[in-house]
Amino acid sequence: MTIVTLRVRITSDSAPTYFPTDRDDALAKLLVESRRRREALFAGLVLRLADTHPDVTARGDLGSCFEDFRQLPSDERSELAGHPVFALALQQFLRVDFDADDAVLVAEAASMTAAYRRARDAMRDRDVARIGRTELRRWDTDPLIIERAPPTYIFPPAAERERRAGEDIYTLERFAVIAEAALARIGDVWPQLRRWFDWLVRVIVQVPDAPYRSASAARYRGVVFLSSDDTTLMELEESLVHEFGHQILYEVMARSPLLVDGAAGTYRLPWSGARRDFYGYLHAFYIYLLLALYFERAARDAGHDAVEVRLLLGHIVGGLREARRDFVADGRFTEAGAGFISSLKKELDILEERLSEAPAPVA
């Protein structure tokens, strides 16, 4: 099923970077558009099922569920459409074979309805742990996220999850206090980024035993996995901003591919030495540029250690300079991708110019 939007088109010459800056409302437009597409897709699938299998729709709860969705105030419906559990359920529903037996269709419709209700309840439930508006989960993570998480994280079986929920020494409540503090600092440094964080990172799954600082993937966008490896507030800030950047790119690439199929090669990331394919390298370039812009601001914030921040900023910008030569607008990029990378490189040029003019910090 494909979606076509019919309306007057407004085009612009410059490709946006989608960074949360005052001069660029592209991120806001992107997210609104992404949610509206999901709303339309849900409507289309319900219409389709009602058309071909009216009895299935009548027997289940899908019709009333969709009516509930339709009657929601538009901001609430948009928030729900952006919820990863709703999005994952919709992905599954999209794969339904409408020629299947009624029993199969009834089960699929019930699964969609149940996920819809879980997402809606999660948004309203005051007992759900949160940092800001972002849900904070561990062993109570939604089954659809648990299903899609591997290989990022393989959850233990349900019985073990239940047992461990009462045994963890590093509780979720304790993590929430620290993460709240990190997010507050992000808000001090870059208020727009903090605001958009709630829109993009809808669920944080904190798993103390994960073998990384943070992780996410396009297949379950809106969800971020965090371990307990961040030992300082600034490290946690970095992880949160890093994952925020990934979420932007997932949204951008879901709308229009930036790379042509089969863009090959393996690259060493200048920041960590890790090896990545070109897709991963592009993600890293984008995220480290976002981090550079973040730490440039943090260096001016009284709550941050300017010397520590500038050291980190120097390391990040050094890596960006090194990586820049690999990002030539060549055949690996789509037209949208070529414009995008050109805008990122311009942003890096401007950043370097600003940094060269900035006074050295007082140690």
By CB under 8 A, name the binding residues for another protein: 1-8, 36-37, 39-41, 43-44, 46-48, 50-52, 70, 74, 77
Q: Quick one: which of 176, 175, 172, 304 has its CA closest to 238? A: 304
Residue 151 preceded by cis peptide, ω within 30: yes
CA dist 13 and 31 (Å) reads: 20
Nearest distance in Å: CB 54, another protein = 11
Query: Which is nearer to another protein, 78 or 113 (by Cβ)?
Result: 78
Query: Which is nearer to another protein, 51 or 349 (by Cβ)?
Result: 51
Query: Which is nearer to another protein, 5 or 231 (by Cβ)?
Result: 5
CB 77 within 8 A of CB 69: yes
CA atoms within 13 A on the CB side of 274: 9
Nearest distance in Å: CB 1, another protein = 5
Query: Which is nearer to another protein, 71 or 356 (by Cβ)?
Result: 71
Joined together, the tokens standing for residue 238 give 């970095």
CA dist 288 and 221 (Å) reads: 19
Nearest distance in Å: CB 57, another protein = 12
State how far the alpha carbon of 45 is from the alpha carbons of 3, 64, 70, 90, 174, in Å: 11, 14, 14, 9, 42
CB 31 within 8 A of CB 16: no
Query: Which is nearer to another protein, 4 or 302 (by Cβ)?
Result: 4
Nearest distance in Å: CB 126, another protein = 27
Nearest distance in Å: CB 222, another protein = 21
- Count the neighbouring beta carbons within 10 Å of the beta carbon of residue 117: 14
Nearest distance in Å: CB 4, another protein = 5
Backbone dihedral angles phi then psi of residue 203, each to the nearest 5 degrees: -135, 125
Query: Which is nearer to another protein, 99 or 167 (by Cβ)?
Result: 99
